[in-house]
Structure 1
Amino acid sequence: MKTDKLTGRMILLGLLFTFCWASSCEQIRPDRHKWYKGNLHTHSYWSDGDEFPEIIMDWYKESGYHFVALSDHNIFAEGEKWVTIRDDSIYQNGFQNYLDEYGEDWVNYREEDGKIQVKLKTFAEYAPLFEQRERFLMLPAEEISDGYDGKPLHLNVTNLEKLIMPQGGESIVEVLQNNINAVLEQRRETGKPMMVHINHPNFRWAITLEDMVRLKGERFFEVYNGHPQVNNLGDKERGSLGTEEMWDFINIAYLEKGQPLLFGLATDDSHNYHRKGSQFSNAGRGWVMVRADSLEAGALIEALEAGDFYATTGVELDEIRYENNTLTINAIQKEGVEYIFEFIGCRTGDKETQVLKEVKGVSADYQLEKDILFVRCKITSSEAQDNPVENMTSQLAWTQPVRPRQ
C-alpha cells in the first residue's frame, strides 16, 4: 500500500541522515547552482480542482518536479473540509483509486444520501508524505481570487505564512495593488521569504497593459499559463496583446519609471486530472527551472527574485550565463531536435522590442552594447509540446531579461 511504501522510504532516509551526521559526510550537502523544476500554480479538491492533493503531489514528484505550490482559491489546506464525489464514473473511480492507494486508515470518508463524501487532508498532514531533502519540497500557497466590475483579478502567493483574503478596491489597479501590498506586508511582518505574482492577465481580458504598468512592487507575472481559457496569444481583432508582447512593454515602462524588471513565469494552472486534452486544464504544460544553491523556500525565492531561472513548456537548458555583458545560453541537445534562439530586446529611445539576433543550433550568445535597455531570449524547439493549448504546439522557453552592466 502507498502508506507502507512511504513509511519505508522515510525510515530509509532517516537512517541515511543518521549515518551521514555521525560521519560528518560532506556529500549530502547540496551542490550549488543546481537546477530545480517547479510549478507555482495548481489546484485540488480544496477549491475547484478535481483530485485529492496526495494524488496530485505524487504525480508531480514522480514526474521529476522538485517543488510545487498547490494554490487553491482563497483557501489554504487547513481546518476541516469535506468534498462530495461526483456521480460520474471517472470521479467515482478516482476515489476508489485514492482509497486503494492510501488505505482505510488514511482516507476518512462517509456515505450520505447515496453520495460519497471525503474529508480532505490538510497541508500539515499530507506534505510530510512527499517532502524529501533536496528531492521534493511543497510550498504553502494560495491564489488570491479577487475581482472588479465582473473581471477576475487573481494573484498567487508562494510560501505564505497565513491566508490572505481578497482586499478589494475601487478599480482594477487598486484591487491588484491592495493585494500585492497585503502580501508584501505579511512578508515584512513575518520575515518569511514570500513572493506574489500576477496570474493570467488575459483571462477574460481582465488585466490590460495599462493596468500592469501602473503597479508597484510586483516582480512576476505569468508569461505562459497552461489553462485553455487564458489567451496567452492575445487577440489581434480585439486589439489585445499576447502576454509575451505585454511583458516587453511593461519592462520598457518600468525602466522609464526606475522600477525593477518584471520576470516571466510559466505555470500549469492545472485543475483537471481525469480528462486530458486541449479543452482541459491539465498538469505538465508549463513550469520554471530555478538555479539555486538548495531546495529550500528561501533559496528558491532568492533565485527567482534575482532572475536566476527560466520559464518553459518543454525546452531544457543546461546553462544560462551572463558575464561581461554577454548572455550565453546552451540547450540540452536531443537527437533530431533543432532550436532557434531569438534574442529580443529594446534599444535606448525605442518604444518597442525587436529581435536583435537569431541563431539556429544548440547554443547561442549575445553581446549587450551600452545602448541596450534589456535583452531576453526565447528558445523554440522543433519538438512538439505534449498536450498543447491555444495552438502553441512547439516547445518553448523564455529566459529572464538582463541589462547591460558597467
Structure 2
Amino acid sequence: MKSRFRFSLLTLMLLVCHTSAAQDAVNEDPILQDPILQDQVRYWKGNLHTHSLWSDGDQFPEMIADWYRQRGYNFLALTDHNVISAGQRWMSLKKIVDRSDSGIVDRYRQRFGEHWVEQRKSPKNGDEEIRLKPLNEFRALLETRGEFLMIQAEEISDRSEGKPVHINATNVAEALMPAGGDTVREAMQNNLRMILEHEKSHGRPVLPHINHPNFGYAMTAEDLAAVVAEKFFEVYNGHPGVNQLGDEHHASIELMWDQINAIRFAAGVEPMMGIATDDSHEYHGRAGSRPGRGWVMVRSRFLTPEYLIAAMRQGEFYASSGVSLTQHDFDPQTRTLTVTVDAVEGESYRIDFITSLKPGTDPHKIGLVVHSHDGDKATYQMKDNECYIRALVTSNAAHHDPSFKDQKKQAWTQPVGWPTK
C-alpha cells in the first residue's frame, strides 16, 4: 500500500514539475511574449493606392515599398492597373530609363545588391531588359512582423461613357479584369459585384474602394450613393490631376461626400466612408503624383490584411494628409463625438463638425458645419435633425508636398451617429 502511495506521489511531483517547466518555457518564449501579440489595439499607418513599373509608375516595386517602410508606414498595397505583381515580367531598360532617369538602375543595385538585379538581352530583339520582381519574391526582404506588411492589390481600371471608372481591390488573390458596363453607374456595380464574388470564392476579405471620383469628372454623388454595396471612396487623393476641389460646375470631393451620405441616409443605406491615398506614380522628385501625401490610420489589434480590413469595415480608422489624432470616439448613448489631435509644437488646429440635415428640415442643408473649435480637442453632441456627424481637422501648417494650391494638413473622421438597423 505504501509503495503505491509513494508511486502516486512521485507521479504527481513529476507532473507538477513538468507543468511548471512547460509554463516557464511559455513565459520565456520571445514570440509569445512579443508586445505585438499582446492583444493591444493601436493605430497602423498605410497607403492603399500605389503604382510601380508593373503598370504606369516609374520605380521598381521593392524600391517603392522600401520608401514607405523607411518612413514609418506599417502597410502598403501596390495597386497597378489591371495587373498584380505576379509571374515573370521583363521590361526594356530603355523604357525604364525613359520613364524615370539614367540613374534608376544604379540606385536599385545600390539598395538591393548586384545579385538581386537581374539583367539580360531580350531573346526577341537583343535589347537590354531588367526583370520586375513579383511581390511573393521581394516581400521577404521588406516585411517585418508587427511593423511592415505588404498587401496584394489592384486598381481595376475600366471605362464607360468615355469616362474612367477605377476601383481598387485590396487583398486580392489574382488579377481581375474590368467588367464593363453601358453607363458609369453600371460599370461601378459590375466591377464591385465581381470583387465581392472574388472575395467569396477565395474565402478572403477584399476591400474595394472607389478611386478619385472627380478624375475626368466621371462620377457624381448620385452614382456613388446608388452603388449601395460600396462603402469606401477616396475623400483625398494625392494626384494633382484628380480635381480634388471641383470647379464651378462640379462639387469638391469634400462636399460630394456629404451629398452621397445625405442621399444614402434618406434611402436607409449605410454611409460611405472616406479614405486618403497617394495614388503615387512618380518617385524621383519630379512634379506629379508623388508618395507621402495621404494615408489611412487604422485602429486594429493586429497588423494583418484580415484585421485591417475588418477594422475599416467597422469605421475604425481615419484619413489623413498630415494631421494625426490620438482620439476619435463616438458615444452612441449620448450621441457625442470627441476628437483629440496629436498636436505638433508650433501648429494650431481648427476642428469642424460637419453634418447634413434630415429630409424635411427647412432649409435642408448638406455639408453643414454645425460647430467649429480652435484647439486640439473638441466634443460635439448630435442634434435630432442631423443625419450623422463627422469631423474635419485642419492645421494652420501647409502640407509638406501639396497636390493643390494652398493645401493645409488635414484629417477626416468617418460619419457616425447613423441609425442602427
| TM-score of the superposed pair, with normalisation by structure 2 | 0.87
* Deviation sequence 1:275-327 (CA, Å, 0-9, x none): 33xx4110000000111111111111111111111111100111111123111
* Deviation sequence 1:158-200 (CA, Å, 0-9, x none): 0112211100111111111000000111112222111100000
Q: In structure 2, what is the equivalent of residue 38 of structure 1?
A: 46
In the TM superposition, residue 370 of structure 1 has moved relative to its aligned partner by 2.8
1:351-366 alignment runs, 5 A limit: 351-366=365-380
Q: In structure 2, what is the equivalent of residue 204 of structure 1?
A: 216
Question: How far apart are the structure 2 equivalents of 1:192 and 1:215?
Answer: 22
Q: In structure 2, what is the equivalent of residue 287 of structure 1?
A: 295
Unmatched 5+ stretches in structure 1:
1-17
Question: How far apart are the structure 1 equivalents of 2:273 and 2:71?
Answer: 25
User: Larger strand proportion, structure 1 or 2?
Assistant: 1
Q: In structure 2, what is the equivalent of residue 256 of structure 1?
A: 266
**Hey, which bits of structure 1, 4+ residues long, moved more than 6 A?**
none
SS in 2 for 1:370: coil
SS in 2 for 1:217: coil
Question: How far apart are the structure 1 equivalents of 2:325 and 2:284?
Answer: 31
Please state if 1:394 is matched with 2:408.
Answer: yes
Q: In structure 1, what is the equivalent of residue 104 of structure 2?
A: 94
> Please, which of 389, 395, 404 is the counterpart of residue 375 of structure 1?
389
> Please, which of 233, 242, 255 is the counterpart of residue 252 of structure 2?
242
Letter in 2 for 1:313: S
Please state if 1:326 is matched with 2:340.
Answer: no
Question: How far apart are the structure 2 equivalents of 1:312 and 1:23?
Answer: 33
Question: How far apart are the structure 2 equivalents of 1:273 and 1:307?
Answer: 31
Report the more deviating stretch, 341-350 or 117-126. Answer: 341-350
Letter in 2 for 1:147: R
Is this contact kept in 2: 1:368–1:404, CA < 8 A?
A: no
C-alpha RMSD over aligned residues: 2.0
Q: In structure 1, what is the equivalent of residue 241 of structure 2?
A: 229
Q: CA 1:405–1:170 in structure 2 vs 1: closer, same or farther (change >3 Å)? A: closer
Q: In structure 2, what is the equivalent of residue 6 of structure 1?
A: none
In the TM superposition, residue 234 of structure 1 has moved relative to its aligned partner by 0.4
1:74-153 alignment runs, 5 A limit: 74-86=82-94, 87-88=97-98, 91-111=101-121, 116-153=128-165
In the TM superposition, residue 212 of structure 1 has moved relative to its aligned partner by 1.5
Please state if 1:343 is matched with 2:357.
Answer: no
Is this contact kept in 2: 1:40–1:71, CA < 8 A?
A: yes
> Please, which of 170, 178, 190 is the counterpart of residue 178 of structure 1?
190
Q: CA 1:23–1:340 in structure 2 vs 1: closer, same or farther (change >3 Å)? A: closer
Question: How far apart are the structure 2 equivalents of 1:57 and 1:358?
Answer: 38
Report the more deviating stretch, 65-74 or 365-374. Answer: 365-374
1:53-92 alignment runs, 5 A limit: 53-86=61-94, 87-88=97-98, 91-92=101-102
In the TM superposition, residue 48 of structure 1 has moved relative to its aligned partner by 0.4
Is this contact kept in 2: 1:159–1:194, CA < 8 A?
A: yes
Is this contact kept in 2: 1:213–1:250, CA < 8 A?
A: yes
Question: How far apart are the structure 2 equivalents of 1:275 and 1:310?
Answer: 28
Question: How far apart are the structure 2 equivalents of 1:118 and 1:23?
Answer: 39
Is this contact kept in 1: 2:326–2:342, CA < 8 A?
A: yes
Question: How far apart are the structure 2 equivalents of 1:191 and 1:20?
Answer: 35
Q: In structure 2, what is the equivalent of residue 301 of structure 1?
A: 309
Q: CA 1:28–1:69 in structure 2 vs 1: closer, same or farther (change >3 Å)? A: closer
Q: CA 1:184–1:270 in structure 2 vs 1: closer, same or farther (change >3 Å)? A: same
Is this contact kept in 2: 1:290–1:310, CA < 8 A?
A: yes
In the TM superposition, residue 240 of structure 1 has moved relative to its aligned partner by 0.5
Report the more deviating stretch, 260-269 or 28-37. Answer: 28-37
Please state if 1:161 is matched with 2:173.
Answer: yes
Is this contact kept in 2: 1:338–1:360, CA < 8 A?
A: yes
In the TM superposition, residue 213 of structure 1 has moved relative to its aligned partner by 2.2
Letter in 2 for 1:263: M
Is this contact kept in 2: 1:30–1:294, CA < 8 A?
A: no
Which of structures 1 and 2 has the bigger CA Rg?
A: 2
Question: How far apart are the structure 2 equivalents of 1:381 and 1:351?
Answer: 26
Q: CA 1:375–1:135 in structure 2 vs 1: closer, same or farther (change >3 Å)? A: same
Q: In structure 1, what is the equivalent of residue 14 of structure 2?
A: none
Letter in 1 for 2:416: V
Question: How far apart are the structure 2 equivalents of 1:232 and 1:282?
Answer: 15
SS in 2 for 1:141: strand
Question: How far apart are the structure 1 equivalents of 2:272 and 2:406?
Answer: 23
Question: How far apart are the structure 2 equivalents of 1:252 and 1:207?
Answer: 16
Q: CA 1:109–1:205 in structure 2 vs 1: closer, same or farther (change >3 Å)? A: same
SS in 2 for 1:374: coil
Report the more deviating stretch, 75-84 or 24-33. Answer: 24-33
| TM-score of the superposed pair, with normalisation by structure 1 | 0.91
Letter in 1 for 2:375: G
Question: How far apart are the structure 1 equivalents of 2:318 and 2:32?
Answer: 35
Q: In structure 2, what is the equivalent of residue 11 of structure 1?
A: none
Q: In structure 1, what is the equivalent of residue 18 of structure 2?
A: none
In the TM superposition, residue 150 of structure 1 has moved relative to its aligned partner by 2.1
Is this contact kept in 1: 2:48–2:76, CA < 8 A?
A: yes
